[in-house]
Amino acid sequence: MEREAARGRALLEESREAVVILDEDGRVLGASRRARQALDVREGEPMPQDLLNGVRGKTPLVVPYRVQGREERLVYLSDAGDLKAYEELRAGFTAAVSHELRTPLARLLSLLELALLPGEDVVELVGQARREVEQIRELIDEVLFLSELESGARVVSLGASPVLPVLEAVAADLSERADRAGVRLEVAGDDSAFVEVRPRMLRVVVQNLAENAIRYAGPGATARLSVERRPGAAVLEVGDNGAGVEEADLPRLFERFYRADRSRASRGTGLGLAIVKHVVTAAGGTVEATGGPGRGLLVQCVFPTR
> What pLDDT, in 10s, does the model give residues 158-185?
678 899 999 999 999 999 999 999 999 9
> Residue 83 pLDDT > 60, yes or no?
no
- Please determine, for residue 206, whether its predicted confidence score (pLDDT) is greater than 90: yes
pLDDT of the residue at 103: 66
The chain-wide mean pLDDT, for the chain, equals 79
**Report field, pTM of the whole predicted structure over 0.85:** no
Q: Where in the chain is the domain with CATH 3.30.565.10?
A: 156-304
* Chain region(s) in the chain for CATH 1.10.287.130: 83-150
Decide if 54 contacts 65 (C-beta within 8 A): no
For residue 271, pLDDT over 80 is answered with no
Which residues partner with 162 through β-bridges?
194
Give the model's pLDDT for residue 263. 45
Q: Which of 284, 283, 288 is nearest to 273 (CA)?
A: 288
Condensed to tens digits (0 to 9), the pLDDT of residues 114-138 reads 888 888 888 888 888 887 787 677 6
Location of each CATH 3.30.450.20 domain in the chain = 2-80
Options 3.10.129.10, 3.20.20.70, 3.40.50.10440, 3.30.565.10; CATH of 156-304: 3.30.565.10
Percentage of the chain modeled with pLDDT above 70: 73
Q: For position 297, what pLDDT does the model report? A: 93
Q: Residues of the chain with pLDDT > 90: what percent?
A: 25
> CA-CA distance, 147 to 203, in Å (whole number)?
18
Q: Domain 83-150: which topology?
A: Helix Hairpins (1.10.287)
Dihedral of alpha carbons 7, 13, 15, 17, sign: positive
Topology of domain 2-80, CATH:
Beta-Lactamase (3.30.450)
CB 224 within 8 A of CB 238: yes
Is there a contact between 283 and 196 (Cβ–Cβ < 8 Å)? yes
pLDDT the model gives residue 262: 46
Q: How high is the pLDDT of residue 298? A: 94
Task: Give the number of other Cβ atoms within 10 Å of residue 303's Cβ.
Answer: 27
Question: Who wins on pLDDT, 79 or 23?
Answer: 23
- How many C-beta atoms surround the C-beta of residue 25 within 10 A? 8
pLDDT at 261: 47
What confidence score (pLDDT) does residue 33 get?
78
CB-based contact 278:209 (threshold 8 Å): no
